[in-house]
């Protein structure tokens, strides 16, 4: 999953579902004038393509690779067939996990909308960085200011000011599209409550099944991965 790749567009039928392992996917709502804003991120905790098993088949958003990496891709028809057929405890476990994740994703979308409306660009940037870090193995992100501005739905100048403030506070180091988080506890203190709300709900819903290895094992054992 290379950085910037578009995995699906708004309104298009989803041919595949994706289980990211090291990549992070951004769900963006794109306006008629081309402006966009991120509504959620999907990483190694979840699945891209909830419309497939929720019955809608399409979503009103674009899915773009925010952080390049790898993942598993499964034909949507295979997942739909397994869910409709049932098939024992493993199928029930998989379906329960997918539904729990869907609830966590809805929480993230709702909280993102509140955050974008009521909190500063600096707080939004902190939330976005923390959500990304939770889905990465390192403390470094490769991301240009323009891409961050598109994700947050703000002007590029606003990202420049916010990133500069965080850098002067010793929380991050930013240079030529590379962001290194130097002080995660400090970044959490600088963030608004929105990050904690999303993190706590995700942990509550997925804590007993959210380990990446166990999640991948469940998928690989039960479904034929293409």
Mean pLDDT, rounded, of the chain:
85
Residue percentage of the chain with pLDDT more than 70: 89
Q: How far apart are CA 166 and CA 200, in angstroms?
A: 24
* Angle 171-155-27 from CA coordinates, rounded to 5°: 80
pLDDT at 210: 45
> Is 169 within a domain?
no
pLDDT at 212: 42
Based on the structure, what is the number of domains in the chain? 1
* Angle 35-199-48 from CA coordinates, rounded to 5°: 55
> Is 129 within a domain?
no
Task: Identify the domain containing residue 85 by its residue range.
Answer: 1-118+222-226
Span 78-103, pLDDT tens digits: 988 888 776 666 667 788 889 999 99
pTM over 0.85: no
> Is 157 within a domain?
no
> Is 149 within a domain?
no
> Is 91 within a domain?
yes
> Is 184 within a domain?
no
Q: What is the DSSP letter of 80?
A: H
> Is 142 within a domain?
no
List, for the chain, all residue ranges whose pLDDT scores fall below the cut of 50: 210-216, 219, 222-226
pLDDT at 91: 66
Nearest Cα to Cα of residue 59 among 84, 93, 25: 25
CATH of the domain at 92: 2.60.120.10
Decide: helix, strand or coil at residue 222. helix
Helix residue ranges per DSSP H, the chain: 50-54, 76-85, 89-118, 121-133, 145-152, 156-168, 184-190, 193-206, 212-222
Which region holds residue 81: left if phi is over 0, alpha if psi is between -120 and 50, else beta? Answer: alpha
């Amino acid at each position: 999953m290379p950085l910037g790749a578009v995995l699906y567009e708004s309104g298009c039928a989803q041919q595949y579902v994706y289980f990211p392992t090291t990549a992070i996917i951004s769900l963006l709502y794109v306006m008629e004038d081309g402006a966009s804003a991120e509504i959620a991120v999907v990483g190694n905790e979840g699945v891209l393509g909830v419309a497939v098993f929720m019955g809608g088949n399409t979503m009103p958003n674009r899915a773009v690779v925010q952080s390049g990496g790898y993942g598993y891709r499964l034909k949507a028809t295979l997942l739909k067939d397994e869910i409709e057929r049932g098939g024992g405890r493993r199928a029930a476990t998989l379906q329960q996990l997918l539904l729990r994740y869907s609830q966590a994703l809805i929480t993230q979308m709702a909280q993102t909308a509140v955050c974008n409306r009521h909190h500063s660009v600096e707080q939004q940037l902190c939330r976005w960085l923390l959500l990304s870090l939770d889905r990465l193995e390192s403390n470094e992100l490769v991301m240009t200011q323009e891409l961050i501005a598109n994700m947050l739905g703000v002007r590029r100048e606003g990202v420049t000011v916010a990133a500069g403030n965080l850098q002067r506070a010793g929380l991050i180091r930013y240079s030529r599209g590379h962001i290194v988080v130097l002080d995660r506890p400090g970044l959490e203190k600088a963030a608004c409550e929105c990050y904690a709300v999303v993190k706590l709900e995700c942990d509550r819903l997925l804590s007993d099944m959210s380990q990446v290895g166990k999640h991948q094992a469940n998928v690989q054992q039960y479904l034929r991965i293409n």
